[in-house]
Amino acid sequence: MSRIDKIIEELLGTSQSLENVCNYFGISAKDLTENEIKEIDEEIFQCDGCGWWCETSERNDLCGDALCEDCLYLEVHQD
């Protein structure tokens, strides 16, 4: 398993920061290459609403925000 796969696995379904997860694996987020960042972005995204890392299939764009299913529902169904 590559270091990016490990980072993705550790982030998915959490609200941890990329920096903290990288530090956990003994690397700096600043040392990730552009391709590695792209690979993370292609697999998961961080919801602009709640900060959780979700699968890209759960991504919804609303007025420029990338939201998970739960945050989209809350935005659309606010009283």
Rounded distance, CA 36 to CA 32, Å?
6
Number of Cβ atoms within 10 Å of the Cβ of 76: 10
Please report, in tens digits, the pLDDT of each residue of the chain (79 residues total): 899 999 999 999 999 999 999 999 999 999 999 999 999 999 999 999 999 999 999 999 999 999 999 999 998 898 6
User: What is the 3 state secondary structure string of 28-78?
Assistant: CHHHCCHHHHHHHHHHEEECCCCCCEEEHHHCEEECCEEECHHHHHHHHCC
C-alpha 3, offset from chain centre: 16
